[in-house]
């Protein structure tokens, strides 16, 4: 997934560079079937989820937010009925 992100947009891939290095470090060592390795994998998975959700929120939040108060368009309202 990280490779696809980086290929599509290198700046997005840069956000996951530290995470990817941690995964590479874990895979470079001897992977044991023990609780410590399971904990490391769980922490990496949670960190990835957090970064992914943060990134997704940052990309769409601007579209979903109201404009700043100094950029709100004026609306003409006629009080006479």
> 74 in a domain, yes or no?
no
pLDDT at 15: 83
pLDDT at 69: 67
Does the predicted TM-score (pTM) go above 0.85? no
> 71 in a domain, yes or no?
no
> 72 in a domain, yes or no?
no
Closest CA to 5 of 41, 49, 25, 16: 16
Report the C-alpha gap between 54 and 75 in whole angstroms: 34
How many independent structural domains does the chain possess?
1
pLDDT in tens, 2-22: 788 778 778 777 888 899 999
pLDDT in tens, 24-76: 999 999 888 999 999 999 999 999 999 888 888 877 776 666 667 676 666 66
**Domain span holding position 52:** 2-66
> 37 in a domain, yes or no?
yes
> 35 in a domain, yes or no?
yes
pLDDT at 23: 92
User: What 3-state class would DSSP assign to 30?
Assistant: coil
Closest CA to 27 of 19, 4, 35, 63: 19
pLDDT at 31: 86
Radius of gyration of the chain (CA): 22
> 14 in a domain, yes or no?
yes
Burial zone of 62 (CB within 10 Å; 0-12 exposed, 13-18 middle, 19+ buried): exposed
């Amino acid at each position: 997934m990280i490779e696809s992100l980086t290929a599509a947009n290198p700046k997005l891939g840069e956000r996951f560079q530290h995470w990817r290095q941690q995964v590479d470090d874990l895979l470079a060592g001897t992977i044991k079937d023990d609780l410590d390795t399971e904990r490391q994998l769980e922490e990496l998975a949670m960190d990835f989820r957090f970064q992914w959700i943060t990134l997704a929120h940052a990309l769409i939040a601007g579209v979903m937010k109201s404009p700043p108060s100094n950029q709100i368009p004026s609306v003409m309202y006629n009080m006479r009925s």
